[in-house]
Amino acid sequence: MTQIRILAFLLTAFAAGASVSKAAVILTLTNPNQTTTAGSTVSFLATAFNDDTVPVSLNALNRNLDAALTMDDSAFFNNWLSIPANSFFDPNPQELFTITVAVGTGPGTYSGTVDLLGGPDIQDQNILGSAQFSVTVNPTSGDIPEPASVLLVGAGLGLAILRARMHR
């Protein structure tokens, strides 16, 4: 008899939960693959569409990043609040976060994933949508002198040699 009551309770809870919305947001980074140099910061813009019949609160970003990358999600917390049912947060791309590449990071491609957390309630932390991104770090050009600098050094060296010959 106890097993039947537990089963009835579980079926009732499942039926009640079936009416609760399973919010899904289509998160699209408009510039998911960017190129920069070590020590620089790049901004990632996004659109988000609430593909559900209830509005959702956007409560946090969860991140998984390569160690060379640091995320600043203050743009999210300052601007991204909620999305009405069956609607875009904003049809125009908005800044979602910025990534700073650590100084001294070698050339290569570094990646990450961002999850949009929230739900129908302001305390919800469900994963509503996810997006992947990458940052390609180019070598810095600081090691290669500009042609004008090479000419200036060459001219100075030529003058020094000429002067040394004249004083002999």
pLDDT at res. 2? 42
In a domain, 13, yes or no: no
In a domain, 59, yes or no: yes
What CATH number did the domain enclosing 53 receive?
A: 2.60.40.10
How far apart, in whole angstroms, are the C-alpha atoms of residue 128 and residue 83? 11
In a domain, 60, yes or no: yes
pLDDT at res. 22? 54
In a domain, 10, yes or no: no
Helix (H, G, I), strand (E, B) or coil at 12: helix
Q: Read off the DSSP letter of residue 142.
A: G
Domain that residue 31 falls in: 22-166
In a domain, 158, yes or no: yes
pLDDT at res. 8? 40
pLDDT at res. 19? 34
In a domain, 16, yes or no: no
In a domain, 110, yes or no: yes
The two three-digit tokens of residue 65, written as one number: 């990043």
How many structural domains comprise the chain? 1
Which pLDDT tens digits describe the chain residue by residue (168 residues)? Answer: 444 444 343 334 334 443 344 568 999 999 999 999 999 999 999 999 999 999 999 999 999 999 999 999 999 999 999 999 999 999 999 999 999 999 999 999 999 999 999 999 999 999 999 999 999 999 976 545 566 666 777 777 777 777 777 777
Do residues 128 and 119 lie in contact, with contact meaning Cβ atoms separated by under 8 Å?
A: yes
The torsion angles phi and psi of 130, rounded to 5 degrees, stand at -140, 155
In a domain, 6, yes or no: no
pLDDT at res. 20? 42
pLDDT at res. 167? 74
